[in-house]
């Protein structure tokens, strides 16, 4: 899909008409925490190739977010990893100390993160008030100065400091994280 508008906005939209409540809640929380962010509005995107194109405009790599569950569907994991790395179930299952991890059904993503497929994001953890979801972050994501993600909807992408995510956002939403090192081999 050709990108037609590359305008970057500082902060929330001036006109919130037509925006979903979950997106506005994301901006409300970031603003209340005094987290600075850039925003790029775009058509809905559903794959990492399109995310990478938007990330280039923002000057970052948009994180790949993988929402997983175990066979019993009583453990849920959100994995943030660089777009360039390939998710390997067997490798990550060992790191997470869980057997048989698989992609979680859409209904759990909506229930716990208030996100739909294509818009899974660390920002969704603000909706997980009972801490059903564990967060794992690849070490390369932690090392970057900035991260890119969706504000719970895949029609915008935001760029914020990684330190703000780790030191302000995650404590505010009462979620910790575990760092993992995923292999770069494809």
| CATH at residue 78 | 3.90.960.10
Residue 41, domain member (yes or no): yes
Residue 72, domain member (yes or no): yes
Residue 25, domain member (yes or no): yes
Determine the Cα–Cα distance for residues 159 and 149; give it in Å rounded to an integer.
7
Half-sphere exposure of 15 (CA within 13 A, CB side): 3
Residue 185, domain member (yes or no): no
Residue 186, domain member (yes or no): no
Q: Is residue 186 over pLDDT 50?
A: no
Q: What is the count of structural domains for the chain?
A: 1
End-to-end Cα separation, the chain, in angstroms: 25
Q: Is 76 helix (H, G, I), strand (E, B) or coil?
A: strand
Instruction: Tell me the whole-structure pTM to 2 decimals.
Output: 0.92
Residue 2, domain member (yes or no): no
Residue 61, domain member (yes or no): yes
Kindly report, residue by residue over 137-165, the tens digit of the pLDDT: 999 999 999 999 999 999 999 999 999 99
Residue 3, domain member (yes or no): no
């Amino acid at each position: 899909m050709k990108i037609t508008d590359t305008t970057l906005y500082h902060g929330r939209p001036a006109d919130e008409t037509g925006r979903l409540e979950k997106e506005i809640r994301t901006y409300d929380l970031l603003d209340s925490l005094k987290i600075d962010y850039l925003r790029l509005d775009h058509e809905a995107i559903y794959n990492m190739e399109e995310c990478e194109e938007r990330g280039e405009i923002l000057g970052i790599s948009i994180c790949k977010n993988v929402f997983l569950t175990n066979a019993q569907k009583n453990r849920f994991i959100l994995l943030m990893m660089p777009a360039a790395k390939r998710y390997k179930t067997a490798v990550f299952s060992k790191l997470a100390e869980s057997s048989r991890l698989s992609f979680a059904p859409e209904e759990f993503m909506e229930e716990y993160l208030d996100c739909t497929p294509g818009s899974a994001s660390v920002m969704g953890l603000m909706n997980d008030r009972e801490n059903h979801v564990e967060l794992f972050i690849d070490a390369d994501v932690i090392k970057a100065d900035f991260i890119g993600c969706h504000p719970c909807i895949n029609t915008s992408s935001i760029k914020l400091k990684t330190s703000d995510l780790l030191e302000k956002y995650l404590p505010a939403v009462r979620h910790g994280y575990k760092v993992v090192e995923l292999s770069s081999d494809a």
